[in-house]
């Protein structure tokens, strides 16, 4: 199992498995997870691993990123959390075991920047 983002909109079939982190969510073509949402920024937020934990980082988006209804800048994610990008809300699912198996393509970069 990977980190899974499940769209909570009953009319959407957008479910995303994040096999490699960090992953950027946004409406732009450059985003790893591209969503159709006019309220989302092109590069809206990033989901990343840091010290074995999963985090969401707002990328200075125009409308902000919400976690469980609260605006965030950089926060640790827990299984079952609701992550809102624009007006698109995802339920975050993962296990500690899944985090250990995910490829962290940014581990070296984060270590160099001290985050």
Q: What is the pLDDT of residues 21-60, one digit of tens each?
A: 999 999 999 999 999 999 999 999 999 999 889 999 999 9
CB of 41 closer than 8 Å to CB of 63: yes
User: pTM of the prediction?
Assistant: 0.86
Neighbours of 67 (CB within 10 A): 19
pLDDT of residue 111: 34
Pairing of strands 70-72, 74-76: unpaired
Q: Which long-range contacts (CB under 8 A, 24 or more apart) does 9-15 make?
A: 9/88, 9/89, 12/88, 14/88
- For 65-81, the pLDDT digits (tens) are 999 999 999 999 999 99
Nearest one of 97, 94, 38 to 62, comparing CA atoms = 38
- Phi, psi (degrees; rounded to nearest 5) at 107: -55, -45
């Amino acid at each position: 199992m990977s980190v899974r983002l499940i769209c909570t909109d009953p009319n959407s079939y957008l479910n995303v498995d994040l096999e490699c982190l960090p992953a950027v969510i946004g409406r732009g073509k450059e985003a790893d997870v591209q969503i159709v949402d006019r309220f989302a920024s092109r590069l809206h937020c990033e989901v990343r691993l840091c010290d074995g934990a999963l985090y969401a980082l707002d990328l200075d988006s125009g409308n902000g990123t919400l976690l469980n209804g609260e605006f965030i800048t950089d926060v640790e994610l827990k299984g079952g959390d609701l992550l809102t990008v624009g007006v698109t809300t995802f339920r975050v699912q993962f296990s500690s075991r899944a985090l250990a198996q995910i490829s962290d393509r940014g581990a070296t970069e984060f270590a160099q920047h001290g985050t």
